[in-house]
Amino acid sequence: MNDGGHRGMHWSLPILAGVAAAASAPALSATTRFTIETDYRLGYDTNPFLSAGSDLSATYIETSIAPKLVRQSEKGQVALSGHFDRTGYLEHYGKADSYGGELEMQQRLSPKLNAFAALRYDSSIIGQGDDSVTGNPVDNPDVNLIGLRRRADIFSASGGFEYQVGSKDSISVDGGYTATRYRNGPPGNDSDNYGGRVGWKHAISARSKIGISGSIYKIDYDTPGLSTLIMQPSVTFSSQLSPTWTIDASLGVSFSDLSLPFTVPGAARSASSTGLSGSLQLCHAGVKDQFCFFGDRSVSASGAGGTVEQTQLGVNYRRQMTERVGVSWTGSYVRSKSQAALLGGTRQFVTGVAGVDWRVFRSLTVGAQGRYRDVYGAGLPIKADIGGEVFARLKLTAR
């Protein structure tokens, strides 16, 4: 998991959009839904943790369980979810667990005011075989720590609101706090990330909106004197391009001030930098095809000690071949560059996954997938990971 500097902001946009959609839906009586999903996987990886060395391949058996309880009403919903995944390697590595939970609230407080709040906890080993890049910094692996088999515990809280000022204008405010802790590894890399964002949007047509936003947040490390202050103004644009195509984009400038805990003769105690920031999400939702391209450039925290400039690009695609059979593939690229040369260099991470699935019954799906992952740049040379798995997924729902 990557301690993304934009956690509060990136969480708020889809959540507030969901609240607005719920607010415009016909009034419904309150309902409660409980689902539980279990996965069983048998697979093989040539380098499951992207570690340096030789003789790294392993066969594994993975089981997971993910319960979720949702209380839905005409004014919003409250959702409580959790997950536990255990991977047992038949060679070299023993077992590896990942687990977490989330409590999320979305509520329409009045016809013009929507609010959200969320609490989240996640624990995982960075760089494990199923790590993926989603386009949202909150969900991404810390590229600088891949290969070290370090466990990251991430605690986060966020909240905010959106207020409809008039028929065409709305303002939104949100904030968040994230604490990242590492159980194994040297001290000095744990971080606390806190800040917020204010935004304004104006509808220029029935389908399109433009806006401006400004965010400010600070990242404090447990190394005395090491911290980063980040400010980011940006312009935003969103549009329903057609019945099946949407775009959501932002473009701005990131101003960061890195305070260093030590000095080198002749060097300053701090370093300021200015860079381009922005995000893009272009998506298509058709009858049989679903496609999404994402890109993001931002400043975020890294467990390597200090902040990094991170650029990421990716594509997700799925096609429903028949009523029961579907195929999917994803590809992504991440480039992470340290803002302080003495704290690290530049590292890059690429992934590709392709798979097929078959819905045997309403609640049972089976499938197979293959993947390729590689990390390169600063640090020791690492062999790419090539692997695949077969799986069965059982999902049960109760109301």
List pLDDT tens digits, range 321-377: 999 999 999 999 999 887 665 556 788 999 999 999 999 999 999 999 999 999 988
> Which CATH number does the domain housing residue 77 bear?
2.40.170
Residue 262 has pLDDT above 70, yes or no: no
Residue 79 maps to a domain: yes
Give CA–CA dist 85/173, Å, rounded: 35
Which is more confidently placed, 16 or 236? Answer: 236
pLDDT score recorded for residue 273: 83
Residue 63 maps to a domain: yes
Read off the tokens for 277: 């920031």
Residue 88 has pLDDT above 70, yes or no: yes
Q: Which of 340, 180, 335 is nearest to 258 (CA)?
A: 340
237 SS3 class? strand
| Pairing verdict, β 346-359 and 325-338 | antiparallel
Q: Which of 105, 102, 95, 63 is nearest to 81 (CA)?
A: 102
> Number of structural domains, the chain?
1
Give CA–CA dist 298/7, Å, rounded: 11
Give CA–CA dist 88/317, Å, rounded: 30
Q: Which helix (H) or strand (E) holds 310?
A: strand 306-320
**pTM for the model:** 0.83
Count of other CB atoms within 10 angstroms of residue 356: 15
Bridge partners, 281 (sequence order)? 248, 294
Residue 1 maps to a domain: no
Residue 217 maps to a domain: yes
Residue 323 maps to a domain: yes
Residue 265 maps to a domain: yes
pLDDT score recorded for residue 126: 84
Distances (CA, A) of 321 to 290, 291, 327, 358: 12, 15, 7, 10
211-220, 223-232, 384-393: least confident range: 223-232
Over residues 303-308, mean pLDDT: 68
CA angle 107, 17, 98 (to 5 degrees): 85
Which is more confidently placed, 152 or 115? Answer: 115
- Full domain range(s) for residue 61: 7-398
Residue 392 maps to a domain: yes
Residue 154 maps to a domain: yes
Residue 291 has pLDDT above 50, yes or no: yes
Q: Which of 317, 318, 315, 379 is nearest to 350 (CA)?
A: 315
